Structure 1
Amino acid sequence: MTDDMTIRIDSEQYVLRRDGDGLQVGRQNGTDVAWLNTVDLALLPAPAREAVERGDTSDEALLTALRGITQAEVERGG
């Protein structure tokens, strides 16, 4: 994955960006992106990592992993 990917989770739109061994997750607000977190790719389940590599934003494993990441951010108060 070389470019940003846009992915919709429920009613929110997010942006994913590869950052070395991590995956940056940001919430899109109009033309701006508020970067929430960078997650070590090794922490994601293998099917979610494979979806990132393919750029497949419709993959259920990736969507599930990102729901967990965004929920953790909400619970932290981000």
Structure 2
Amino acid sequence: MSDEMTIRLDSEEYVLRPDGAALQVGRRVGGDVTWLDTVDTGLLPERARGALERGDTGDAELLTALRGVVQAEVQRGG
């Protein structure tokens, strides 16, 4: 993954951006992105990492991992 990637999850639009060995996760609202979290890509399942590398925004493992990041943000009160 070399650039930002947009993923639609349920009714929301999220942006994934590589940051060294990490992945920044943000939510797009209108034309702006609110960055929610930065996740070490080594913590993601292997198939989710592969989907990121391929740019496969429809991969089930990647969508599940993104749901987990979003849920953690909600639980933290973000």
> Structure 2 length as normaliser, TM-score?
0.98
**Which residue is 2:44 aligned to?**
44
2:47 is the counterpart of 1:18: no
Question: C-alpha deviations, 1:26-60, integer Å up to 9, x for none?
Answer: 00011100000000000000000000000110000
* Identity score, percent: 69
2:71 is the counterpart of 1:71: yes
**Which residue is 2:35 aligned to?**
35
Gaps of 5+ in 2: none
- Following superposition, the deviation at residue 72 of structure 1 comes to 0.5
Q: Secondary structure at 1:16's aligned position in 2?
A: strand
Superposition map of 1:53-72 within 5 A: 53-72=53-72
Gaps of 5+ in 1: none
2:5 is the counterpart of 1:8: no
Q: How many residues align?
A: 78
